[in-house]
């Protein structure tokens, strides 16, 4: 196969112009160009790099409606959702431009020499973070803009000073090609070497494997399935020089309905929950796939309302027919599970559309079978009825790592929430109250990450400004002459607002 | 085997009281206690945790001469070196107490709610770093104090809020037991649960494997051989829940003699180099095992002086007879290598003492055989004679990752140093000028780390205050009521000097 085409999510039929299937030669060329561009790119000033990121945002916006139309056709997501996603994509590029300008990420540290210290003098030591090198980014199926070609991984890696080679997701080649073109124009307009950004595309897993195995690649960003993420981690670890993989993989995002909240507003919670469950056909990493509560009238009201809303939910176009089929298998397995009761199922849709499904089990049954924790990508969720607080806590303690954990709670639930919080902190990267996990704010205090298997590296986030740290490493300079020290570490450095830790004391630039 | 004994490094003979050989039961008990202690320990105030670290330092000092005598006997290192190492051990505990008090490591971030924002309101988001959980630390043979039971890994993990289980190095059980006792007394005196610190010991690798595989362990700190480090990484990756391993493994610490410096002071450099090479019998992670220079009179003078000093160097007691034997094998292999010339060899010593050896090869020969880059632990080094700057740069480009890279340079060498710097930054965690890599300052701007295989994770350091970050992960709190928010993230938090990033702007506490 030398060409492949877009597939319309709504029909499963190919459309549009064919795209070249890239192979090892294109991967090698992109990685060689990225390596060649690295030293030039990382030497750019913070201001120049920030402007480059802003230029990418402008070029994406300049694509206009053609980009929105391509993404809608390829993903099947509603137009409003894609427009919002474009806004988020542009917004996060602009946020990283701001982050680059402020310079906190450089972690500048200076420990001046102490020539008179006893028993030994202290040398002059200075530290900064430098970018790792070329980064491979895998486009995600469920965010054709915000987590793909110019998405969060690309933006944070470019912000760190790393050239990026994107492996476009095969479900949206046209969207990917449009955005790749926009980035390439920004690279050229900014006077940067072309290798700062590379793009390869094709339907095979081998293409991605070749990219991760290329010795010039120094880190990987990925959002997708658990199987895909683990395969990339394995490849990265088996290299002659292993590299970090930031894979955001699998999460069922437990929602805990605490007793007083349930008592006060079980029905309203049930309706609102289904709104979150069915948003974007349930195809969010933070989709609420698990509801945990203590049995009682409040939970009965929640279940009744949620079941009613699920039964009425219209089927929605899913991202690909493969994802639709996997959703059918996953929900089918749950429906056939001896310990699981099907509470409600909407119109099941067809080979491109999926409906919503709501299941129920008990705390004891949930604890007895780890398979009930497997993510079913789409609008599927399980209500776990617990006998009491002890069983609820045991269910939480038995959970795998998660991106999010949600508390629906009233003031009188605060003591219980306080008892649960230390446990939730160990299970999830983000804990939220009285909201729904779908909808991930791009800001400084966001964590879109969490313990394994939510991600392959719980020490980071893939959304928000902290994501830049993934692509940096510290270098220390000892007794270097001013003339050869990196400019930002010299005595006369213009820090332009970047903070410095001088002899252990933080000083604002 | 149920007991094992100390071995005197100087004689290879056992001495002193026997120690229990710990096994799976002791590992499980220590890990269970660490897990049970975690939530209590991580909830300690910054001030209480800082005082606890200071108390450990005081308890170690209170061991007095018995500790120094045990470490000298077990390691064979000179008394002055051990006394300095004790000073460093205490100093780094005190530094981490200061780091804990200052609170920068918490990375407090607050993005206030924007209820009026369009198209969607922004929720209130707050972020802090929390400790990972119980940490396994492996004692190092070559630093019985500063990188063992209460060494840098232990100090930084405790500072982060992680309970620690140490697997003591079998080469210094008495030293380890004394220090473990001191820490246990500090735990008790501080009113902390006993599980905050655990200690297991024994001569087998299985003991360490069981520790890394225990599901309650969440991260590993290790300083030792490449084989040992890679084995631990493999075990950690194969767990049901993989965990990070911070292994500091293998480095030959290239020293680049630049032309003008060589011309001006080749002979003096040669003598000073041997001082660094033979310090502590060459048993430093940062021992200069490689010298790279362009051939010429200056290098001839360096080689003549270094060869003379090596020939006169007295053999020194090595840490263990096993390490002495490995040093013999490693230097023997180099001596027998067709592309390597033996420049000088001091008195070869015996089964416990090792001498110094200096070898020479050409740039072309060095580039042709990766085996010449293998670390020989001890006072062994290779001079690589390059034809010109291009070959010198090629030799540097061909190096594996390193802890350090050293430039011996004069003012007129600055242009060349400037050209080499981008390359050196990608090869090493610390770059130093006109000094020697041995001697690692414990401070804020230190990096004792570097690209693979110097370490298993180039994004961190195992020495200096930045090391605390290895044991932390971010958690985000969305719309949590003030009453259940972590105290340091509340509106009325007493930050006690800890900086906060509020809406992206850094503010000093």
Q: How far apart are CA A247 and CA A220, in angstroms?
A: 8
Which pair of tokens denotes residue A303?
């279940």
- Omega prior to B119 cis, within 30 of 0: yes
pLDDT of A1: 79
Helix H, strand E, coil C: the string for A413-431 is HHHHHHHHHHHHHHHEEEE
Please name the residues in contact with A277: beta carbons below 8 A apart, sequence gap of 6 or more: A287, A288, A310, A356, A358, A379, A381
Q: How far apart are CA B34 and CA B167, in angstroms?
A: 14
Q: How far apart are CA B40 and CA A8, in angstroms?
A: 55
Q: Which of A401, A326, A37 is nearest to A188 (CA)?
A: A37
Inter-chain residue contact A441 with B417, CB threshold 8 Å: no
Which pair of tokens denotes residue B158?
């405790």
Phi and psi angles of residue A365, each rounded to the nearest 5 degrees, phi first? -70, -40
Q: Which residues of B touch A422 (CB under 8 A)?
A: 39, 43
Q: Which of A474, A489, A478, A482 is nearest to B286 (CA)?
A: A478
**B161, B299, B308 from B265: Cα distances, Å:** 49, 10, 16
pTM: 0.97
Of A123, A452, A503, which has the smallest distance from its Cβ to B441's Cβ? A123
Q: What is the CA radius of gyration of chain A?
A: 24
pLDDT of B29: 98
Inter-chain residue contact B445 with A237, CB threshold 8 Å: no
DSSP lists the bridge partners of residue B407 as B256, B433
Whether residue B509 has pLDDT greater than 80: no
| Residue A269 CA neighbour count, 13 Å, CB half | 31
Spatial contact of A200 and A168, defined as CB atoms under 8 Å apart: yes
Q: How far apart are CA B478 and CA A434, in angstroms?
A: 9
B333: number of Cβ within 10 Å: 14
pLDDT of A22: 98
Span B43-57, pLDDT tens digits:
999 999 999 999 999
Q: How close does chain A come to B215, measured CA to CA in Å?
A: 13
B387: number of Cβ within 10 Å: 13
Which pair of tokens denotes residue B163?
């309970």
Which residue of chain A has the CA closest to B242? Answer: A452
Q: Which of residues 384-403 of B touch A (CB under 8 A)?
A: 401
- B123 and chain A in contact, CB less than 8 A: yes
Q: How far apart are CA B184 and CA B178, in angstroms?
A: 10
Span B148-204, pLDDT tens digits:
999 999 999 999 999 999 999 999 999 999 999 999 999 999 999 999 999 999 999
Residue located via tokens 């051989």? B225
Whether residue B348 has pLDDT greater than 80: yes
Residue located via tokens 């911070």? B246
Confidence of residue B119 (pLDDT cuts 50, 70, 90): confident
Q: What is the mean pLDDT of residues A273-295?
A: 96
The 8-class DSSP code of residue B331 comes to: H
Spatial contact of B50 and B98, defined as CB atoms under 8 Å apart: yes
The 8-class DSSP code of residue A463 comes to: S
Looking at B35, B54, B248, B391, which residue is catalytic?
Answer: B248
Output helix, strand, coil percentages for chain B, rounded to the nearest 5: 45, 20, 35
Whether residue A377 has pLDDT greater than 80: yes
Which pair of tokens denotes residue A382?
């399980």
Name the helix (H) or strand (E) containing A434: none
B285 tagged catalytic: yes
DSSP lists the bridge partners of residue B473 as B130
C-alpha angle A120-A121-A124 in degrees, rounded to nearest 5: 140
**Mean pLDDT, all residues of chain A:** 97
Q: Which of helix, strand or coil describes residue B346?
A: coil
- B14 and chain A in contact, CB less than 8 A: no
| Alpha-carbon A322 to chain mean position | 21
Q: How close does chain A come to B218, measured CA to CA in Å?
A: 10
B443 tagged catalytic: no
Span A400-413, pLDDT tens digits:
999 999 999 999 99
Inter-chain residue contact B479 with A119, CB threshold 8 Å: no
The 8-class DSSP code of residue A481 comes to: -
Whether residue B104 has pLDDT greater than 80: yes
Q: Which of A142, A325, A445 is nearest to B479 (CA)?
A: A445
- Can you say whether the dihedral through the CA atoms of A41, A44, A49, A51 is positive or negative? negative
pLDDT of A132: 98
Q: Which residues of B touch A443 (CB under 8 A)?
A: 111, 122, 125, 504
Q: Which of A425, A424, A437, A183 is nearest to A287 (CA)?
A: A437
* Residue predicted with more confidence, A495 or A83: A83
DSSP lists the bridge partners of residue A263 as none
pLDDT of A254: 98
pLDDT of B497: 87
Q: Which of A161, A165, A133, A155 is nearest to A60 (CA)?
A: A155
Spatial contact of B136 and B212, defined as CB atoms under 8 Å apart: yes
Q: How far apart are CA B279 and CA B308, in angstroms?
A: 16
Which pair of tokens denotes residue A386?
């617990």
Whether residue A242 has pLDDT greater than 90: yes
Q: Which of residues 233-262 of B touch A (CB under 8 A)?
A: 233, 237, 241-242, 244
Inter-chain residue contact A477 with B132, CB threshold 8 Å: no
Q: How far apart are CA A499 and CA A107, in angstroms?
A: 8
* Residue spans of alpha helices (H) in A248-362: 259-278, 297-312, 321-335
- The ipTM of this complex is 0.97
Whether residue B495 has pLDDT greater than 90: no
pLDDT of B496: 87
Q: How far apart are CA A251 and CA A248, in angstroms?
A: 9
String of DSSP letters for B458-483: TT--SSSGGGGGGGEEEEEEES--TT
Q: How far apart are CA A292 and CA B210, in angstroms?
A: 34
- Omega prior to A172 cis, within 30 of 0: no
pLDDT of A12: 95
Q: Which residues of B touch A476 (CB under 8 A)?
A: 429-431, 445-447, 461, 464
Q: How far apart are CA A499 and CA A104, in angstroms?
A: 6
| Residue A175 CA neighbour count, 13 Å, CB half | 34
Q: How close does chain B come to A267, measured CA to CA in Å?
A: 22
- A425 and chain B in contact, CB less than 8 A: yes
Q: Which of residues 460-479 of A touch B (CB under 8 A)?
A: 460-461, 464-466, 472-479
Name the helix (H) or strand (E) containing B493: none
Span A407-442, pLDDT tens digits:
999 999 999 999 999 999 999 999 999 999 998 999
DSSP lists the bridge partners of residue B406 as B255, B432
Percent of chain B topping pLDDT 70: 100
String of DSSP letters for B40-97: HHHTS-HHHHHHHHHHHHHHHHHTTHHHHHHHHHHH---HHHHHHHHHHHHHHHHHHH
Whether residue B468 has pLDDT greater than 90: yes
Sheet with B505-507: list strands edge to edge. Answer: A341-345, A357-362, A380-386, A290-294, A254-257, A402-408, A428-433, B472-478, B125-131, B108-111, B500-502, B505-507
Burial class (CB in 10 A: 0-12, 13-18, 19+), B251: buried
Q: How far apart are CA B419 and CA B398, in angstroms?
A: 16
pLDDT of A337: 97
Sheet with B402-408: list strands edge to edge. Answer: A505-507, A500-502, A108-111, A125-131, A472-478, B428-433, B402-408, B254-257, B290-294, B380-386, B357-362, B341-345
A3-7 and A14-20: which strand pairing? antiparallel
pLDDT of A496: 87
Spatial contact of A437 and A404, defined as CB atoms under 8 Å apart: yes
* Residue predicted with more confidence, A393 or A348: A393
| Residue B98 CA neighbour count, 13 Å, CB half | 15
Q: What is the mean pLDDT of residues B288-311?
A: 98
Q: Which of B79, B70, B80, B74 is nearest to B12 (CA)?
A: B74
pLDDT of A141: 95
Whether residue B24 has pLDDT greater than 90: yes
**A460, A473, B464 from B448: Cα distances, Å:** 22, 12, 8
Q: Which residues of A touch B110 (CB under 8 A)?
A: 445
Q: How far apart are CA A92 and CA A89, in angstroms?
A: 5
């Amino acid at each position: 196969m030398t060409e492949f085409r877009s597939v319309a999510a709504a029909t499963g039929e190919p459309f549009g112009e064919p795209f070249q299937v890239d192979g090892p030669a294109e991967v090698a060329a992109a990685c060689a160009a990225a390596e060649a561009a690295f030293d030039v790119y990382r030497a750019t000033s913070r201001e120049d790099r920030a402007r480059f990121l802003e230029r990418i945002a402008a070029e994406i916006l300049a694509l206009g409606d053609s980009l929105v139309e391509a993404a809608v056709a390829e993903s099947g997501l509603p137009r409003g959702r894609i427009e919002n996603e474009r806004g988020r994509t542009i917004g996060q590029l602009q946020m990283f431009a701001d982050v680059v300008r402020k310079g906190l990420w450089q972690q500048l540290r200076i420990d001046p020499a102490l020539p008179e210290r006893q028993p030994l003098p202290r040398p002059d030591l200075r530290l900064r973070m430098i970018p790792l090198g070329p980064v491979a980014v895998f486009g995600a199926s469920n965010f054709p803009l915000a987590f793909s070609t110019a998405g969060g991984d690309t933006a944070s890696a470019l912000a760190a000073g790393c050239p990026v080679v994107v492996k476009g997701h095969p479900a949206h080649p046209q969207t990917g090609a449009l955005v790749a073109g926009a980035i390439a124009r920004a690279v050229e307009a900014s006077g940067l070497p072309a290798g700062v950004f590379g793009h390869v595309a094709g339907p095979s897993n081998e293409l991605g494997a070749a990219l991760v195995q290329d010795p010039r690649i120094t880190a990987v960003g990925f959002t997708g399935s658990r199987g895909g993420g683990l395969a990339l981690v394995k490849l990265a670890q088996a290299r002659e020089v292993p590299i970090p993989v930031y894979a955001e993989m699998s999460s069922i995002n437990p929602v805990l309905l605490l007793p007083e909240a349930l008592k006060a507003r079980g029905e309203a919670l049930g309706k609102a929950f289904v709104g979150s469950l069915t948003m974007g056909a349930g195809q969010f990493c933070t989709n609420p796939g698990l509801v945990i509560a203590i049995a009682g009238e409040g939970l009965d009201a929640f279940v009744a309302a949620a079941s009613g809303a699920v039964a009425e939910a219209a089927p929605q176009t899913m991202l690909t027919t493969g994802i639709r089929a996997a959703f059918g298998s996953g929900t089918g397995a749950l429906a056939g599970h001896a310990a699981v009761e099907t509470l409600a199922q909407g119109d099941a849709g067809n080979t491109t559309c999926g409906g919503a499904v709501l299941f129920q089990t008990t705390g004891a049954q949930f604890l007895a079978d780890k398979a009930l924790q497997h993510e079913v990508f789409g609008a599927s969720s399980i209500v776990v009825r617990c006998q009491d607080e002890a069983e609820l806590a045991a269910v939480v303690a038995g959970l795998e790592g998660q991106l999010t954990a949600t508390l629906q709670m009233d003031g009188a639930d605060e003591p219980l929430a306080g008892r649960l919080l230390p446990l939730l902190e160990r299970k999830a990267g983000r804990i939220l109250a009285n909201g729904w996990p779908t909808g991930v704010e791009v800001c400084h205090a966001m964590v879109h990450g969490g313990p394994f298997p939510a991600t392959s590296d719980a020490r980071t986030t893939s959304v928000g400004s902290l994501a830049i740290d993934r692509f940096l490493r510290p270098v220390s300079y000892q007794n270097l002459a001013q003339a050869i020290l990196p400019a930002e570490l010299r005595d006369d450095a213009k820090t332009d607002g970047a903070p410095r830790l001088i002899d252990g004391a933080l000083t604002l630039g």
